[in-house]
Amino acid sequence: MDLKKGVPDFEPMAFDEVFRSHFREVYGYVAYRLFPDRDAAAEVTQDVFLAAVEAWPTYRGECSPIAWLRGIARRKTADWFRGRAARPAASAADMNEVPAPEAGSDANDERTAAISSVMRSLPQDYANLLEEKYLDGLSVRQIAQRRGVGEKSVESALSRAREAFREKYERLQIQQER
Amino acid sequence: MDIVIERELKAATSACQPPAGLDDSIARRLAERQTATPAATPTAMRPRGFRLGRAIAVAAAACAVLAGLAWLIPPLSKPSTAYAEVMQALAVSQEAECTHFHEKDGRECWVSFKPLRWIEKNKDGSVQSLDVSSEQGVSYSPSAKTVTIMTVSPSTLVSSPAGDAARSANMLEFLAKRLQTEKAMGAEVTKGAERIAGKEMTVFTEKLNGVENGQGTRRFIVDPATSRLVRIEETVGDKTVGVDFDYPDKMPADVYALGVPREAKVIDLRLTADTACLLKSVRAAADRFSKTYHAIESDIQTSFSGEAPQKLGWVNEWWVKGAMIRSNSYDVPLPRDLGEKDWQKQLAELAKPFLTGNVADLEAWMKQRKPISIGVIRDGADSVAYLSREDGKLVKRTSRRTPGGPIQAFWQLESPIETSTPRMGGQEKGPWGDLVGIVSNTPSPFTGPGPKCETRWYFNPDRDYLCERFSVANFDPNHPGKDARYFRKVAEYAKTPGGLWYPARSEAESKRLSGKTARSITCFVDDKAKIDDKLFDLGTVTADSLQLTPPASRLTSRKAD
């Protein structure tokens, strides 16, 4: 029995532990955001950890390490889209469209493609809000504090984001049924 | 809809598996990026850091065992009758010459105190030992069939539970230190009796009540026949972990007594006589530094290339009185309205007030704001208070940090000199006299064997052996010329009112793949200051004493021209 296991945060966690513990989660998050571009996902995942290792000494346990890493990943994926938008070949439509998975793709890919497509079709702030609430597990109060706004404002934005998600999600389901 | 969104998002993010080798590839890049020891300022009160990761296997394993033991004692208990009885059981237990504890998976450890000796045998056949009196660690690897002997000085252990144990007379004292310093908040102990393995036992149950991350219960099982502690266990959810204790007459003599084959190859990594002599002088000089002082230190980034920083720097205020240390830490955040263009010039302008060399300027700056964290070390236990970014509530928690305050940085003693097989690094000319060097090579913290990390220390005998130049370089044979470097040098010395030398200003430079950055570290030390004992009472710290950590500025996309 390792007595340190199950002893949350008793000893300072070295960044390599953080990297090893959360590498898959961060990659999974980035890959879903950038689906189906796996090369970009690998590149951006690397950028996330390179930024994180430099910022790690400033991390003060204000949220879980994975929520903190996802925050960085959110900014890095946004940077990637901005960079892509700047390239002449890309258009706004490009950025929001998620190509259908190739023939022979598995059910997981199809599901990721569908959700990625729904989330990308939402206004960026709505998508971020939904992720903070449902992926990071933050409460309305926590999101409000993080953003420096009132709880009411977060609640109403969340309500609009949920509604937008529902609309797109249902439309997608109808398309799939056809 | 809430359930649907949560389910779909979680499914989508867990569906994508990373390509093979990506983790190793990123780990290599991290190794390039990370300068192994950029802790140019004291980090003693920060909740997290890199320090433990750099400890050698022997010391780290000893720390893990002892940390576990320390953790199993209620960190923040309320004094009560039951509590006093737990203490009594520990008092009886500690009279034993040797404490032996063993775990279900076959791991066994023996510990004796004053001087600390610790020896451990693991299920895989590896054996490790630590002997503080001879400053020696031994590690047996069954796969390599080698016995490695290395120097482990007490200073290497200073920030660890093993360090606490090394300074303790016995198990009780070691455990009681935590109890005495952390009893202020909330956990409750009750006493009961239980039949365990056919024997009537006294059981002290501690409800953690959410204190210190704890949500479960701890049980201290005492044999009433001997009044000795025989088991400590903790249950969180449906998982229980425990350690059984007994008290043999004596410790195993050495690693060979635990089955290490005599023919195993011995690798001797102990310090050479000249290196040991120099290090002794350095440590003696550090020990001579005043035990009471007030210090203010600012660490400000002064030049920028590559990506914009998360903050401009930080300011720390320290009060040190013997073993008691208090630190107030302030962030110097970036302004939210920083422009897209000329942001480097703007930051350089913002840095100016911190570089005047005038302590009154820093004091005035601190007066206008509250610290983002307050840390206190007393009696070897380290606590920190800050406001949670998640809910804005006051958080007080223990962490295990290096005692010693900013003087750690004066001699760069945070770096594990002894454990990195150092050798003499020759002499160099400095503006204030000849410097004597030590150099060491260690594997990169991320990739193990392969990319190497070279650390150099140059001490000035004419300035109380202060570390005048310090550098770390990570080399990667796969990417020659793209090594990451960190360099720090003293730019100005000063004397305290009591006549002791210290580095009043240091300059640090980091070269990473993302670019070069420079920082200026200014320090003021007053060893004649009167220091009120109330400062070392974390109980007086309230939410009003602190400022919420400002959110990181979203500047990481800004790149230098």
Which of B90-94, B201-205, B488-492 is predicted least confidently?
B90-94
Q: Across-strand partners of B507?
A: B489, B520
Chain B neighbors of A131, CB-CB under 8 A: 9
Residue B412 pLDDT greater than 80, yes or no? no
CA–CA dist B16, B150 (Å, integer)? 44
Asked if residues B218 and B203 have their Cβ atoms less than 8 Å apart, the reply is no
Report CA Rg, chain A: 18
Asked if residues B72 and A3 have their Cβ atoms less than 8 Å apart, the reply is yes
Residue A29 pLDDT greater than 70, yes or no? yes
Sheet strands (E) in B237-282? 239-246, 265-268
Phi, psi of B457 (to 5 degrees): -125, 130
Q: Which two tokens stand for residue A92?
A: 């706004």
Cβ separation A9–B445 shorter than 8 A? no
Q: Does A176 touch chain B (CB under 8 A)?
A: no
- Which residue in this structure is represented by tokens 């033991």? B69
> What's the pLDDT score for residue A1?
23
Count of structural domains, chain A = 2
| For residues B317-326, average pLDDT | 88
Let me know the angle formed at the C-alpha of B376 by B372 and B377, rounded to the nearest 5 degrees.
145
Identify whether residues A96 and A162 lie together within a single domain: no
Of B6, B373, B556, nearest to A60 by CB-CB distance is: B373
Q: Does A59 touch chain B (CB under 8 A)?
A: yes
Identify the CATH number of the domain in which residue A127 sits: 1.10.10.10
Residue B185 pLDDT greater than 50, yes or no? no
In a domain, A4, yes or no: no
CA–CA dist B255, B149 (Å, integer)? 11
> What's the pLDDT score for residue B97?
66
Chain A neighbors of B310, CB-CB under 8 A: 54-55, 58
Cβ separation B234–A9 shorter than 8 A? no
Higher pLDDT, B299 or B153: B299
Cβ separation A3–B241 shorter than 8 A? yes
Phi, psi of B290 (to 5 degrees): -55, 140
In a domain, A22, yes or no: yes
Cβ separation B5–A45 shorter than 8 A? no
| For residues B136-163, average pLDDT | 73
CA–CA dist B53, B24 (Å, integer)? 18
Q: Which of B9, B372, B395 to mutate to test the interface with A (most CBs of A within 10 A)?
A: B9
Asked if residues B527 and B496 have their Cβ atoms less than 8 Å apart, the reply is yes
Task: Indicate where chain B has its CATH 2.50.20 domain(s).
Answer: 272-545
Q: Which two tokens stand for residue B140?
A: 């047996």
State the DSSP H helix or E strand holding residue B111, giving kind and residue range, or none if neither: strand B108-112
Identify whether residues A93 and A128 lie together within a single domain: no
Of A2, A23, A135, nearest to B23 by CB-CB distance is: A23
Q: Which two tokens stand for residue B104?
A: 């279900």
Q: Kindly report, residue by residue over B504-525, the tens digit of the pLDDT.
A: 999 998 876 556 778 899 999 9
Tally the C-alpha atoms within 13 A of residue A104's C-alpha that lie toward its C-beta: 0
Q: Does A25 touch chain B (CB under 8 A)?
A: yes
Residue type, B182: E
- How large a percentage of chain B has pLDDT more than 90? 16
CA–CA dist B297, B300 (Å, integer)? 10
Q: Which of B5, B34, B331, B384 to mutate to test the interface with A (most CBs of A within 10 A)?
A: B5
Identify whether residues A21 and A88 lie together within a single domain: yes
Q: Kindly report, residue by residue over B64-85, the tens digit of the pLDDT.
A: 444 444 433 333 223 345 556 6
Q: Kindly report, residue by residue over A50-87, the tens digit of the pLDDT.
A: 888 877 766 655 567 788 888 888 888 877 777 665 44
Residue B531 pLDDT greater than 90, yes or no? yes
Residue B99 pLDDT greater than 70, yes or no? yes
> What's the pLDDT score for residue B459?
95
Question: CA of B380: how far to CAs of A28, B42, B93, B160, B165, in Å?
Answer: 42, 17, 22, 10, 10
Chain B neighbors of A135, CB-CB under 8 A: 6, 9-10, 13
Mean pLDDT of chain B: 73
Residue A41 pLDDT greater than 60, yes or no? yes
Chain B neighbors of A11, CB-CB under 8 A: 52, 63, 67, 400
Chain A neighbors of B239, CB-CB under 8 A: 6
In a domain, A3, yes or no: no
Q: Is B453 helix (H, G, I), strand (E, B) or coil?
A: strand
Buried b / exposed e along B90-119 (16+ C-beta atoms within 10 A): bbbbbebebbbbbbeeebbbbbbbeebbbb
Identify whether residues A36 and A69 lie together within a single domain: yes
Asked if residues A96 and A12 have their Cβ atoms less than 8 Å apart, the reply is no
Nearest chain A CA: its distance from B300 CA (Å): 14
Identify whether residues A85 and A126 lie together within a single domain: no
Q: Which two tokens stand for residue B469?
A: 């130049």
Identify whether residues A20 and A74 lie together within a single domain: yes
| For residues A22-35, average pLDDT | 88
CA–CA dist B165, B157 (Å, integer)? 9
> What's the pLDDT score for residue B96?
61
Q: Kindly report, residue by residue over B215-259, the tens digit of the pLDDT.
A: 567 787 888 888 777 887 877 667 777 778 888 888 888 899 999
Q: Kindly report, residue by residue over B258-298, the tens digit of the pLDDT.
A: 999 999 998 887 888 888 888 888 888 888 888 899 999 99
Cβ separation B388–A62 shorter than 8 A? yes
Per the structure, the complete domain to which residue A131 belongs is given by 122-178
Cβ separation B15–A58 shorter than 8 A? no
Which of B27-31, B35-39, B200-204 is predicted least confidently?
B35-39
Q: Does A165 touch chain B (CB under 8 A)?
A: yes
- How large a percentage of chain A has pLDDT more than 70? 69
**CB proximity list for B461: less than 8 A, separation 6 or greater:** B281, B433, B434, B436
Number of other residues whose CB lies within 10 A of the CB of residue B546: 19
> What's the pLDDT score for residue B32?
61
Cβ separation B390–A82 shorter than 8 A? no
CA–CA dist B417, B153 (Å, integer)? 9
> What's the pLDDT score for residue B502?
94
Identify whether residues A79 and A126 lie together within a single domain: no
> What's the pLDDT score for residue B498?
94
List the B99-102 sheet strands across, edge first: B188-196, B199-207, B217-223, B228-236, B239-246, B99-102, B108-112, B117-121, B127-131, B136-141, B146-151, B265-268
Residue B528 pLDDT greater than 90, yes or no? yes
pTM of the predicted structure, to 2 decimals: 0.56
Phi, psi of B191 (to 5 degrees): -110, 145
Q: Which of B30, B241, B390 to mutate to test the interface with A (most CBs of A within 10 A)?
A: B390
- How large a percentage of chain B has pLDDT more than 70? 65
Q: Kindly report, residue by residue over B49-62, the tens digit of the pLDDT.
A: 222 222 333 444 44
Q: Kindly report, residue by residue over B352-371, the tens digit of the pLDDT.
A: 888 888 899 899 999 999 99
Number of other residues whose CB lies within 10 A of the CB of residue B494: 14
Cβ separation B26–A19 shorter than 8 A? yes
In a domain, A115, yes or no: no
Cβ separation B48–A13 shorter than 8 A? yes
Phi, psi of B350 (to 5 degrees): -65, -30
Identify the CATH number of the domain in which residue A24 sits: 1.10.1740.10
- DSSP conformation class of B463: G
Which candidate, B61, B251, B44, B224, places its Cα nearest to that of B139? B61
> What's the pLDDT score for residue B36?
35
In a domain, A37, yes or no: yes
pLDDT confidence tier of residue B212, bands split at 50, 70 and 90: very low
Q: Kindly report, residue by residue over A76-132, the tens digit of the pLDDT.
A: 887 777 766 544 333 333 334 444 444 334 556 677 777 888 888 888 788 888 888
Which CATH code fits B272-545?
2.50.20
State the DSSP H helix or E strand holding residue B427, giving kind and residue range, or none if neither: strand B423-430
Mean pLDDT of chain A: 71
Those of residues 91-110 in A touching chain B at CB distance below 8 A are 108-109
Chain B neighbors of A45, CB-CB under 8 A: 18, 22, 26
End-to-end, the C-alpha distance of chain A in Å comes to: 55
Asked if residues B499 and B463 have their Cβ atoms less than 8 Å apart, the reply is no
Q: Does A139 touch chain B (CB under 8 A)?
A: yes
